[in-house]
Amino acid sequence: MNDLLNTALGYVTPVLEFALAWIIDPANWVQFALLVGAYVAAVFITRKFNPRITKLLTPAQESTTILSQTRRFILIFLPLLLPLLAFGLTAVGEQVTRSIFGSGEVIAFGKRVFLFLAARAFVRDMLSDPLLKMVGKVVLVPLAAVYALGFLDPVLAWLETTVVPLGNMSFSVLGLLRFLVVATIMFWLGRWSNDQSSALIEKQEMRPATRQLAAKATEIAIFGAAFLVAMNIAGVPLTSLAVLTGALGVGIGFGLQKIASNFVSGVILLLEGQATVGDYVELDGGETGTIVKMTARAAILETYDGKWIVVPNEDFIVTRVINYSDSGSANRYDVTFSVSYDTDINKIPDIVAPAVAALDFILNDPMPPDVELENFGDSGIDFIVEFWVNGIDDGRFKYRSHVRFAVWNALKEAGIEIPFPQRVVEIKGGFPKGLTE
């Protein structure tokens, strides 16, 4: 028992002596007082000036100018004001204590703590992107905590010497963390740049196909550059990608022919404008629909019964596809109807044509509604009315349905009968005797 007690005292005694020496050292108390004073001053300043800064930098809600966007961006950094201000005041106090007492370990520790608080506020309050926030919580905040405790150099040295084998290659844990941080930042910058460039391209006056091609080309260029920069910063030699590129070329040549063909076909469609978003098309198999989206591999057709049809881009190049028109072009349609043989057919054009022309969607240019005699049918005289509309009768607008209503109402008001099928049945030999009695 005595040996155990002596061993415990051997550990505790140096700690007590260090604590006693720290307590009786006036330099430590001065540093501690300066540290508390710096924090209190930072709290007082931020509470007094934060509302004024917020009011000064907050633009009108509807304003979208560059200056307004810059002011909103600066406001994002407002949560860092307190810890960074405390850090700056503490740094001044450290210079004072080192010049007077020749030491400043306590206040230096406090300065590192304020820097840790700044890193935590940055991750918690400023980062809104989920990926960046995750990397900040996993990497930035722990490293800031280790730095605040004064163990950053030994921890970095341990991470550098800890090697993770991966097949014939090996990476240090520090290298993997560096690659994770750099790749995340580059990916976020690439996505932000792509959003900005896409918004800029959307404002340009150009054909939808050209606009979409420009957006896709910009996206590929931005993320390709981000990938190369991330590889270079992480220390991965770009010459090693030559093997991967060669293997990818072989794969495209043998196993990815259709994908490559569809990609090239998509670029051709975007360049030539044969089919673009908003067009109403009929495929070689009879399916019809409006193109709602075009990707690198396929076009998405939406039918008017709610179904989506995925059509490979190659089909628009190598098969017969009817593109009825771009949005807003004029198209001609026709509706057939019949009247009784007792009708004065010379009056039909004057009755039907004005009724159809009165519909609000009927165009007079390039030609007003035209009523023509089509045929002498079995049950009546067949007519056809041709009309032009601005758009496509795809089942959603129901142009033909409205025209048929107008024809029916016009003929009814004129007292003209629309015949139903009539048949003459001849019974050879007469009726059986049982049926005649």
Residue 62, phi then psi, degrees to nearest 5: -90, -5
Residue 309 host element (H or E): strand 308-312
pLDDT tens digits, one per residue of 200-234: 777 766 666 666 667 777 777 777 777 777 667 65
Q: What is the dihedral of CA 205, 210, 214, 215, to 10 degrees?
A: 80
pLDDT at 21 over 60: no
* pLDDT tens sequence across 95-131: 777 777 666 677 778 888 888 888 888 888 877 777 7
SS3 at position 115: helix
Question: Which domains does the chain show, CATH number per domain?
Answer: 20-150 (no CATH), 275-325 (2.30.30.60), 330-413 (3.30.70.100)
pLDDT tens sequence across 365-399? 888 899 999 888 888 889 999 988 887 766 556 78
pTM of structure: 0.46
The most confident of 55-59, 110-114, 228-232, 357-361, by mean pLDDT: 357-361
CB atoms inside a 10 Å sphere around CB 329: 10
Amino acid code (one letter) for 389: V
Sort 178 into a burial class: Cβ within 10 Å, 0-12 / 13-18 / 19+: middle
Instruction: Give percent above pLDDT 70 in the chain.
Output: 76
* Alpha carbon distance 3, 104 (integer Å): 39
Whether residue 311 is predicted with pLDDT greater than 60 in this model: the reply is yes
Mean pLDDT of 43-61: 82
Identify which has the larger pLDDT, 289 or 242: 289
- Largest Cα separation within the chain, whole Å, is 140
Residue 56 has pLDDT above 60, yes or no: yes
- Contact by Cβ (8 Å): 176, 162: no
Closest by CA position to 228, among listed 186, 283, 171: 186
Over residues 174-179, mean pLDDT: 76
pLDDT at 307: 82
